[in-house]
Each structure stands twice: as C-alpha cells, then as structure tokens.
C-alpha cells in the first residue's frame, strides 16, 4: 500500500494499491496495511472496531481480496493462525461496489463474512466469530490486523492471476483496526517499495 490522494477529493489522504499479476519468477503487485494490536487484545474487544472505506474505480473483490486479516494466537500452545474477514456486502467477498466509495463495518451480521477455517470454525458472521473464540479458544490473543489485497497475484509459475477481476487500482480510507483509524499520512509508516 502507498500513500495517495482520493481521486474524487484531492484534500483527502488515502492509501492505495494497483494489484497486478506477475510472470515467473517475478510475482505481481499486492498491497498490505497492517498494525500490531494492544497487548492481550481479544476478538470481542474488536466489535464495532473493524471497518474500512474502499473505492474500486474498475475492479472487484473477486477471490476473497481485499480482506481484513487478524493474526490470532489461539492460546492453547498451537501456532497463531489467520481469521479472514471479506470486504463486500455478501459472504466471501461478494457484493463489492465499483466506481463509488463504499463503507463496510466488518463486525456486522453478513453471513459468511469471516473465514475461520484455519481454526476449524468454518464461515461466520461477527457474532459467530466472537462466540467461537470465546467458547473454543478462551485464552486467545489477537496479535495484529490489517487489510490485505492480493487476489490478482499468480498462484503458480506461468499461471494466470488467481482472480483476474480483482486486478487494478484500489483506494482505502478510514481503515479502523482496534483503537486506531488510518485517516491521513501521519497515520502511516511507508514501507519499502520495489
């Protein structure tokens, strides 16, 4: 992800990415904006605190990307895994809008918005996510969270993009993960670029 300006309002600071497919041995371009959580953060404390605004000028959220990704230590001695929250207005990243800014509360009641398969929890709405972690992993801790945009990349050498409809420009604004909201350039630390 890169710092950018809203294409519809140049006074608005946003982050953006142009996802592209690659050719072997060079992978395509993907984007990530992530932050570490406060110590001992639990899933339930993220209720009403995971959201984002996005603009896709001419692409979709095909292939489960972009998504919110929470890196969670289950607290049972096994390694941390990811819980994936799919952007859009339907399960697994369906119902994304193109050509307009759209705001998504990731802790809403959309069925199958959250993918807990790495934990054995199937697909859930947010209430199901909270109930699952509180019941099965009561000692869990959320280590980090952020937005990931990578479905345009190739999965195997010389193969087409995983989800060609997700290739292209994307803008993100008002990304909230826990107690922080990305609002302007002062909220970012720009990583290395290629």
Residue range 20-60, pLDDT digits in tens? 776 555 566 778 888 899 999 999 999 999 999 999 999 98
Question: What digits encode the pLDDT tens for the residues 134-167?
Answer: 999 999 999 999 999 987 775 555 555 567 777 8
- Alpha helices by DSSP H, listed for 90-125, are none
- In a domain, residue 191? The reply is no
Cα dihedral: 29, 124, 47, 56 (round 10): 30
Burial 154-188 (b: 16+ CB within 10 A, else e): beeeeeebbbebbbbebbbbebbbbeeebeeeeeb
- In a domain, residue 133? The reply is yes
- In a domain, residue 192? The reply is no
Helix or strand (DSSP H, E) at 168: strand 168-177
Question: What digits encode the pLDDT tens for the residues 93-123?
Answer: 789 999 999 999 999 999 999 999 999 999 9
* Phi and psi at residue 66, to the nearest 5°: -75, 165
Sequence-distant (≥ 6) Cβ neighbours of residue 194 within 8 angstroms: 29
- In a domain, residue 105? The reply is yes
Give me the mean pLDDT over the 182-194 stretch: 54
- In a domain, residue 189? The reply is no
- In a domain, residue 20? The reply is yes
pTM (global) more than 0.85: yes
- What is the C-alpha to C-alpha distance for residues 140 and 102, in angstroms, rounded to an integer? 31
User: 160: domain range?
Assistant: 2-182
- Total tally of structural domains belonging to the chain: 1
- What is the C-alpha to C-alpha distance for residues 23 and 153, in angstroms, rounded to an integer? 9
- In a domain, residue 89? The reply is yes
- In a domain, residue 111? The reply is yes
């Amino acid at each position: 992800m890169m710092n950018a300006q809203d294409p519809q309002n140049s006074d608005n600071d946003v982050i953006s990415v142009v996802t592209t497919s690659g050719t072997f041995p060079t992978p395509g371009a993907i984007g990530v904006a992530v932050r570490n959580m406060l110590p001992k953060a639990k899933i339930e404390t993220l209720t009403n605190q995971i959201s984002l605004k996005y603009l896709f000028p001419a692409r979709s959220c095909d292939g489960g990307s972009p998504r919110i990704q929470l890196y969670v230590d289950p607290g049972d001695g096994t390694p941390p895994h990811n819980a994936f929250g799919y952007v859009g207005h339907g399960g697994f990243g369906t119902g994304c809008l193109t050509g307009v800014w759209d705001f998504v509360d990731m802790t809403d009641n959309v069925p199958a918005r959250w993918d807990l398969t790495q934990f054995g929890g199937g697909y859930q709405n947010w209430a199901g996510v909270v109930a699952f972690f509180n019941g099965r992993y009561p000692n869990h801790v959320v280590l980090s969270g952020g937005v990931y945009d990578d479905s345009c990349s190739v999965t195997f050498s010389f193969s087409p993009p995983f989800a060609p409809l997700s290739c292209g420009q994307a803008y993100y604004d008002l990304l909230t993960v826990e107690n922080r909201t990305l609002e302007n350039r002062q909220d970012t630390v720009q990583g290395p670029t290629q």
